[in-house]
Structure 1
Amino acid sequence: MIRLVQLTDCHLHADPHARSRAGFPLRQLEAVVEAIRTERPDIVIASGDISQDETSASYEHAHRVLSTLECPWFWLGGNHDRQELMKDLKAIHDDIELGDWRLVVADTCVKGHAHGELGQERIDRLVERLSESERPTLLVMHHPPLAVGSAWLDAIGLKDSDALWQALMPFPQVKAILCGHVHQAFVGRQPLEQGVVTVYGCPSTTDQFLAGSDDFAIDEASRPGYRVFDIRGDEWLTWIERVDI
């Protein structure tokens, strides 16, 4: 069995004591990572919006905390991130080994914009990478490729999701997609000719967004969390864990 844990949307500041709308991002990330350690993961992926203020110091905080994990960890950029600063500390990998599976990273970020878009060049490159192996595959990206039921969030989702789904048609090995950006637990399903691809959203390590809200709203009753993804053979089990702060 391979245990992957996803955390996302840390929104850290250079100031380690900075507040978010509903808490303290660095303190909450530290608590989430400490909880993840007890899960004994094989791999941890941080799926974007590591920083809020796009400073080198914010990434240094994240790198320090994530490096306390006793397993390999990886990260990718979100719409709030400056990926060149991330890469100064740790590479952003496109392809990550998951035992008999692959974890393939897709960059959905558009510089200067909150919404996501792959564009034809990145879709073509994704198709090339998927063509390299028929092993079961997880995709991970920051922006969700499905509507999540909140008008304001859906307006800044993945703009060319239809093109992505069309590109995935020939690849039945793609079983699921992990995404960040939505700051909430989410499960959606996209039927394709070769089967159904499941899309999983993840709570933030900082503020949670109120599910089903047409306008921006924080869910003050919810807590930070992470997603556990256990893979055994060609099957998986996944769930959300919440962390008391």
Structure 2
Amino acid sequence: MLGYPARKISTPDEHVNILQITDLHLASYYPISGNPIADSIIADNDGPTDSICQNNFEAALKQALSEDIRCDLILVTGDLVNQVQSAIYDHIFEILEATNIPFACIAGNHDVTDEMVTEQPFFQRELIAQSADSRLLSRHVIDTDYWQLLLLDSAIPGKVTGEVTNTDIDWLCDQLKACDKPALIAIHHHVIPMRSDWIDAHIAENTENFWQRMMPFEHLRVIISGHTHQEQVRYRQGVTVYSTPSTCYQFKPYEDDFTVDKNARPGYRWLQLANKGQVASWVKRLDT
């Protein structure tokens, strides 16, 4: 079994292929069904069942790793669970370890917050702060031959919104000053508005200070995030900012009110980091 977390990635062809999966939202686990995709229709209450999230996570991982591309690293960018229970993390880590591929996981809001009375509308639910599982990383560096990957924990216990703290920013500046390799930041909460009022109310706080402090570092090339359950690409200060679909259920883009996109399939993102700072990235959805 590979040591966790990943700290150093070296490849024979001078580029690194990263599989990003995010927003698994496992609340419990079940034996995988014979046809998880056929079962993945969103329920009338605008949310999937626990078994659908489990099945889609396993199906997405299986599909991605069966593609004709070498996977050098799996990054899980938060909301691994929908209920903070150690047994669910044990199950997720068992599945990831079985791939024999280096991986790393950071927290999302659901990893430090339980929502009570989920039958109520989203904005009426009681939020209970929880401690993050010790396996979820904060201010963690993964070094590759030509890139540095900087992982941040943006989650605030008991809240949906997140934050890039001044201490986080100081840490990023120290890392970027010490190493001039092209840099990728992985974080759960989005740092550029999605043009959707309800989800932008839960953007990472302190983002303007973050962007101002990042301005001197031209070798910051990429930011990846989860949280928004949708695919978008944004650009700021020469940085390409990717948001990535959930492996479970999707939010409808550009909606000002909370809306599940019942027509969007679960997905994941590939990133190919080349030896001179170039990046290629694309999203794949679960096959029918």
TM-score with structure 1 setting the length = 0.91
Residues 1:46 and 2:76 are matched in the alignment:
yes
Q: CA RMSD in A?
A: 2.1
* Alpha-carbon distance in structure 2 between the residues aligned to 1:92 and 1:27: 28
Match of 1:113 among 145, 156, 159: 159
* Alpha-carbon distance in structure 1 between the residues aligned to 2:230 and 2:254: 10
Match of 1:162 among 203, 208, 211: 208
Match of 2:59 among 8, 15, 31: 31
Q: Report the equivalent of 1:220.
A: 262
Q: Aligned letter for 2:250? A: Q
Q: Aligned letter for 1:37? A: L
Q: Report the equivalent of 2:287.
A: 244
Residues 1:98 and 2:144 are matched in the alignment:
yes
Secondary structure, aligned partner of 1:80: helix
Q: Aligned letter for 1:36? A: A
Contact 2:188–2:227 (Cα < 8 Å) also in 1: yes
Which structure 2 residues correspond to residues 66-215 of structure 1 after superposition, within 5 A?
66-82=96-112, 86-87=133-134, 89=135, 94-191=140-237, 196-215=238-257
Q: Report the equivalent of 1:4.
A: 18
* Alpha-carbon distance in structure 2 between the residues aligned to 1:158 and 1:90: 18
Q: How far 1:15 moved relative to its partner?
A: 4.4
* Alpha-carbon distance in structure 2 between the residues aligned to 1:8 and 1:198: 18
**Larger-Rg structure:** 2
Match of 1:16 among 30, 42, 47: 30
Identical-residue share of aligned pairs (%): 31
The number of aligned residues is 240
Q: How far 1:231 moved relative to its partner?
A: 1.6
Contact 2:24–2:53 (Cα < 8 Å) also in 1: yes
Q: How far 1:232 moved relative to its partner?
A: 1.6
Q: Aligned letter for 1:60? A: D
Q: Aligned letter for 1:22? A: P
Contact 1:14–1:56 (Cα < 8 Å) also in 2: no
127 and 209 in structure 1: CA distance in 2 versus 1, 3 angstrom threshold:
same
Instruction: Name stretches of at least 5 consecutive residues in structure 2 with no aligned partner.
Output: 1-14, 32-39, 113-129
Instruction: Name stretches of at least 5 consecutive residues in structure 1 with no aligned partner.
Output: none
